[in-house]
Amino acid sequence: MDRRLFLKSLGVTAAGAAISEASDSFATTHVASGIPSEHLRQPSRSRETIASSDLSPWNPSTTQPWDVHTINHLYRRAGFGATLGEIYAITRGIVVQTPSQVVDNLLRDSLLLQPTVPPIPGNADDGKTPSLPPAWLRVPPYVYNDPIKIQTDYANANMKIRSHWTVQMNQPEVMLREKLVLFWMNHFVVEAKKVYYPQSMYSLLTYFRQNAWGNFKKMVSDVTISPAMLIYLDGVLNAGSAPNENYARELQELFTMGVVDKNGNPNYTQDDVEGIAHALTGWTVDAQAPPPDVLPSKYEVTRHDSSFQKIYDGVKRQYNLTASGASMDMDLIDHIFDQRGDQIAWYICSKLYQYFVYHDVSGDSEKAVIGAMADLFKSSNWELKPVLSALLKSAHFFDEANIGAEIKSPYDHLIGLLRTFEIPINELSAGSLYFYAVGGSQILLDPPNVKGWPGYHSWISTTTLPYRGIIETLLVFSNKSLPAVGTDGYGNAHLPINLPQEADLVKWGKQFDNYSGTFDDMLSELGTYLCAHTPSATALKYIKGQFPPQTYEWNLLDDSTKVKALLGMATALMLLADYQLC
């Protein structure tokens, strides 16, 4: 066997020269060393052949119709789930919406421009007295002379941003935009605990809302000099001849191209990191600027090191950002995209693929689709919308093997519950939902590190999974006022949720086809709605066994008993592993 194929068959991806002539003896040594090849491979995965490995559009068919199963799939991946009403409107022909129309509707540019009211100053946590000045986003930090007051205000402001964000996620019209806001905030990561200024956090969040499917190259330029990022990765301290490498490294490693390309070759060297760090010197944040422009970024030529740098191609040039207005040979971002375009396209499309389709991209069919996305990304001159549109409409996206292959994030899970049971929230009640997300380990504005939440399997552990069960049961059974769940183990008490109004569960239940059918059909229909695939017969049988036999006479039950039984079924179904997948 060709060595390269051999390495590939082991699932080994090697950085540097590993997959090259020099690597041959290296690979052989390892293989002969007694390391079981399993350890050099992604944990086992085998599956049916994926039907389509390009971006050709999906057309519903008799074998795979546009039904509750596929509608749910699109709504869960491109958003946070569908209500029964949204699904049955389509399946019962009340509205005519093809999959492609749904995607186009979600990708309307007017949704980006749609103004959203900024977080209200009232105290979102307990609904009591407002504790922030009404125009808190426009209050510069220097007006504070009380260090305790500023910390309290900023902590409250962050809570308000989280509540506001949660409410946005729960709005069906902008669900794809918000799904992408979560993506970008977890791509160009900033952490509130370091950035400190909620104004800067909110401003970057708003930027992603307005550019959710905008131009990626422009996004890199804009984020590079956004105040939140300048603070977070020490751009504000990157000056003169002793630059700080923090942003220069992550710009390449995490934000644009990754450490290695798709073949395992390194994308940049330590010299490139240092060169880019030098080129980006001089950008800082003006903490003294008067309102309304609070905490803007600015370029200070005296802090810039205009020395010539060699970046990637060995040619010495003076680099800066065009926005600086300073004289230079080349815009740094232009240069990065010119020199590393293929790598950037592959890296970003891989991440989008992982987010929307499946996490493990080591297979050939995944790589083929990512390759097609990358080609489209480059030919669209780094516009994101064509790539997203093609992916979400593709037969590959709707492949049965990929349906239910993602693990719900805590917010997929939480917002999904609210949407499923049509539990309304507003900015005041959403504040307390934050504490439920803490237990799931996804604290908005505070990802764990600069790489963001790793997602995928890390969402599910022996800690978070039982916790999800508690949330499900509580939300379903006491849908207006929820008791505190105790502490999360770090001593953080979880506040009760006060929902603004009770969901109308009888109305909710009557939407099902089998509300007036049989017990078995009702259970199966509910399982199909709640889970990505209808749960197995053994699981449904087990659940049925938990019910008193008189409930099996489904058509004899009154509405209140039926609803109670429905909630019991739902709770049991949600405790299945199936419910954690989407």
Partner 1 sequence: MKRRDFIKSLPLGVAAAAVPFSIGGLFSGKAFGRSPALDVLLNAQGNSNNVLVLINLQGGNDGLNTVIPFQDPQYDINRKDVGYYTPSEKALLTPFQLRGDLALNPPLGTDFYNMFKDGKLAVLQNVGYSNPNRSHFRATDIWNSASDSELVVFTGWMGRYLETQVPENYPIDIGSSPDPLAIAIDYSTSLVFQGSRSVMASAVIDPSKYNAAQNYADDTPPNTNAGNELQFVRGILTQSDKYGKRFKDVFALPGATQNTVTYPTTNPLAVQLQKVAWCIKAGLQTRVYFVSLGGFDTHVSQYTKDPTQGQGLLHTYLGEAISLFQKDIENMNVADNVIGMTYSEFGRRVNQNGSLGTDHGTSAPMFLFGKEINGEVYGHNPKLDAADLDVYGDLVEQFDFRQVYASILTQWFGIDDYLRKSILNKPEFTSVSDFQSPTDGFKFPVNGSGTMQNIIRNPVPMSVSQNGSLAFNLYQNQPNPFPGITTIKFALSEGGPVLLEVFDGRGSLVKTLVNGYRSRGENQVIFDGLALPSGTYYCRIAFNGKTQTRSMTLTK
Q: Which of residues 115-134 bind partner 1 (CB under 8 A)?
A: none
Which parts of 557-576 interact with partner 1 (CB under 8 A)? 575-576
User: What is the smallest separation between the CB atom of 254 and partner 1, expressed in angstroms?
Assistant: 8
Residue 48 Cβ vs partner 1, minimum distance, rounded to whole Å: 5
Rg (Cα) of the chain, in Å, rounded? 26
**17 binding partner 1? (CB under 8 A):** yes
Per-residue CA distances from 259 to 108, 267, 268 (Å): 34, 6, 7
- Position among 64, 203, 244, 528 found at the interface with partner 1 (CB under 8 A): 244
Residue with Cβ nearer partner 1 (86 or 578): 578
d(CA 170, CA 429): 12
SS (HEC) of 483-511: CCCCECCCCCECCCEECCCCCCHHHHHCC
Interface segment toward partner 1; rule CB under 8 A; list 41-49, 58-66, 141-149, 388-396: 41-49
Does residue 98 touch partner 1 according to CB under 8 A?
Answer: no
Contact region with partner 1 (CB under 8 A), list: 116-124, 130-138, 196-204, 232-240: 232-240
Hey, how many other C-beta atoms are within 10 angstroms of the C-beta on 473? 16
* Binding range to partner 1, per CB under 8 A, among 34-42, 51-59, 213-221, 422-430: 34-42
* Residue 256 touches partner 1, criterion: CB under 8 A: no
Cβ atoms of 111 and 173 within 8 Å: the answer is yes
The helix or strand, by DSSP H or E, that contains position 481, with its residue range, turns out to be strand 481-482
Quote the tokens at residue 55: 């971006």
Looking only at residues 349 through 368 of this chain, which bind partner 1 when binding is defined by CB under 8 A?
358, 360
Task: Quote the least distance from Cβ 7 to partner 1, whole Å.
Answer: 10
- Provide CB contacts within 8 A for 358, sequence distance 6+: 366, 402, 405, 406
Selected from 354, 441, 478, 511, the binder of partner 1 by CB under 8 A is: 441
Is 409 a binder of partner 1 (CB under 8 A)? Answer: no
Candidate ranges 140-148, 221-229, 286-294, 458-466; the one touching partner 1 (CB under 8 A): 458-466
Q: 3-state class of 312 per DSSP?
A: coil
Q: Cα(345)–Cα(374) distance, rounded to whole angstroms?
A: 5
Indicate the residue among 220 and 450 with the shorter CB distance to partner 1: 450
Size of the site for partner 1 (CB under 8 A): 96
Site membership for partner 1, residue 145 (CB under 8 A) = no
Q: Which residue has the tokens 């000056």?
A: 239
Of 469-508, binders to partner 1 (CB under 8 A) are 469-470, 486-491
Binding to partner 1 (CB under 8 A) within 269-298 occurs at: 270, 273
Among 38, 109, 338, 553, binds partner 1 (CB under 8 A): 38
Shortest separation between residue 466's beta carbon and partner 1, angstroms: 4
Among 149, 457, 480, 507, binds partner 1 (CB under 8 A): 457
CB atoms closer than 10 angstroms to residue 145: 7
246 binds partner 1 (CB under 8 A): yes
Contact call for residue 330 and partner 1 (CB under 8 A): no
**In this chain, which of 3, 8, 24, 40 binds partner 1, going by CB under 8 A?**
40
Token pair in block for residue 66: 């546009």
Amino acid, single-letter form, for residue 479: N
Q: Determine the Cα–Cα distance for residues 205 and 164; give it in Å rounded to an integer.
A: 11
Identified binder of partner 1 from the candidate list 9, 25, 47, 114, rule CB under 8 A? 47
> Closest approach of Cβ 570 to partner 1, in Å?
16
Q: How far is the CB of 245 from partner 1 (least distance, A)?
A: 5
Q: How far apart are CA 106 and CA 79, in angstroms?
A: 9
Cα separation, 417 vs 569, whole angstroms: 15
Tell me the closest approach of the beta carbon of residue 574 to partner 1, in angstroms. 11
**Measured distance between the N- and C-terminal CA atoms of the chain, rounded to whole angstroms:** 39
Q: How far apart are CA 433 and CA 124, in angstroms?
A: 10
Q: Are 27 and 18 in contact (CB under 8 A)?
A: yes
Q: Which two tokens stand for residue 9?
A: 């068959």
